[in-house]
């Protein structure tokens, strides 16, 4: 952990540039190695083929929803700093797109306890 999940409407395929967006999002977490162990950071972008926005009248409307999944234990200040940093990256990345279409960006923090999660990760050893 943490996991960054970016869901986006398929009509953003031509402009989303996941190869730039995901590393930029990672950089927010990589700058906080005491808060987020580097070997646990993962991200994925999931295109949404089926979506409906507002009243459905504007077929070019789009949205991007980022979910940050983390285990419990970070302070409120650490969570706020991280979420603000991720959202700033998201807004900056889609700055031009806001001038072209209806676009909604959102971010959600999902925090869970250790109970109910299983993990095995050999990547952490590289960063010790």
Closest CA to 26 of 48, 47, 45: 45
- CA 113, 118, 123, 128 dihedral sign is positive
Helix (H) or strand (E) holding 44: strand 42-48
- CA 84 to the chain's CA centroid: 12
The catalytic residue among 2, 23, 37, 47 is 2
Task: Give catalytic status of residue 2 as yes or no.
Answer: yes
Q: How many residues does the chain have?
A: 128
Q: Which residues are catalytic?
A: 2
């Amino acid at each position: 952990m943490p996991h960054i999940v970016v869901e986006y409407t398929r009509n953003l395929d031509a402009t989303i540039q996941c190869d730039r967006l995901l590393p930029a999002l990672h950089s927010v977490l990589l700058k906080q190695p005491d808060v987020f162990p580097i070997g646990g950071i993962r991200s994925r972008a999931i295109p949404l083929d089926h979506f409906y926005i507002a009243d459905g009248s504007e077929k070019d409307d789009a949205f991007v929803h980022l979910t940050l999944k983390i285990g419990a234990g970070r302070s409120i200040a650490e969570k706020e700093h991280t979420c603000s940093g991720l959202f700033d990256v998201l807004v900056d990345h889609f700055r031009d797109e806001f001038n072209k279409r209806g676009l909604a960006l959102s971010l959600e923090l999902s925090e869970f306890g250790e109970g109910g999660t299983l993990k095995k990760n050999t990547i952490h050893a590289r960063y010790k």
